[in-house]
Amino acid sequence: MKLISEDIPSINDVSVLVEGKGDTKKLFISGPFLQAEKVNRNNRVYPMGVMEAAVDKYNTDYISQNRGLGELNHPAEPVVNPERAAIMTTELKRSGVYFEGKAKVLSTPMGKIVENLLSDGVKVGVSSRGLGSLKPMREGFNEVQSDFVLTTAADVVFDPSAQTAFVEGVYEQANWIYESGIFRQIDLEEQRERLRVAKKRDFAQTQLSMFESLMHSLVNK
């Protein structure tokens, strides 16, 4: 599966909320985190059924268990590094072709950077990460397939289009697989070479077995 990152078309749609007072005061960002049905500026489209299934799973596996973390800017992996966590998505629900989200700014070092930037009036955006297959369509765009898995509903980004270009460039030749409960990057050329070597080894082993069987039959005559 390919790493897929998406940013929201307008970073001004992300609002800043303050809840509570004094020591209980918490900072949140909210707005459209995900989009389905429409062809986005990365020339991809998410069918509503695909996005709804991914969001349902993310709500169950991450948000309901307080694990919906996001980082400051895009990292080089599909999953979150807790040491770089800046926000935690607390809500994600459908609103038309969008999925509205709400995320708490954490008291981590990265979260404090986001909090200070927001307090100083810096505009931020959000960008999602996921893994899935793409199918080229005759209309010229790529359709995200049903194996799509949402791994991060929202990272905090300051130049979403540049971040997306960076991630796409880095992972142009990379694929990921889900193995033993973790996502692992694989190199396609390395996998092909390992398969070729394995086939060669199996062929040699088959030849050896045939030779041993022949010798055994000659000895017993």
User: Can you give the pLDDT at residue 171?
Assistant: 44
Q: Note the pLDDT of residue 49.
A: 97
- Pinpoint the alpha helices (H) of the chain: 48-61, 109-119, 160-170, 188-219
Average pLDDT over residues 163-188: 54
Domain spans in the chain, listed from the N-terminal domain onward: 2-172, 187-221
Whether 90 and 104 have beta carbons less than 8 Å apart is answered as yes
The reported pLDDT for the residue numbered 150 is: 93
Please give the average per-residue pLDDT across 195-203, as a whole number: 62
* Residue keyed to tokens 């041993």: 212
> Between the CA of residue 207 and those of 194, 195, 213, 218, 221, what are the distances in Å?
20, 18, 10, 17, 22
pLDDT band of residue 157 (cuts 50, 70, 90) is confident
Q: What is the pLDDT of residue 17?
A: 81
pTM value surpassing 0.85: no
Mean pLDDT calculated for residue range 66-75: 90
pLDDT confidence of residue 11: 40
Q: What percent of the chain has pLDDT over 70?
A: 67
Indicate which residue of 5, 10, 30, 74 is catalytic. 74
pLDDT digits (tens, 9 = 90+) for 132-153: 898 999 898 899 999 999 999 9
Is 74 known to be catalytic? yes
Q: What's the mean pLDDT in 69-93?
A: 90
Which one-letter DSSP state was computed for residue 106?
A: P
Residue written as tokens 């996001």? Answer: 70
Choose, from 5, 10, 127, 209, the residue flagged as catalytic.
127
Which pLDDT score, from 0 to 100, does residue 6 have? 78
Q: Of 160 and 5, which is predicted with more confidence?
A: 5
Annotated active-site residue 146? The verdict is no
* Choice among 33-42, 98-107, 206-215 with the minimum mean pLDDT: 206-215
- The mean pLDDT of 34-38, rounded to a whole number, is 91
Q: How confident is the model at residue 10 (pLDDT cuts 50, 70, 90)?
A: very low
Scan for tokens 């045939």, then name that residue: 210
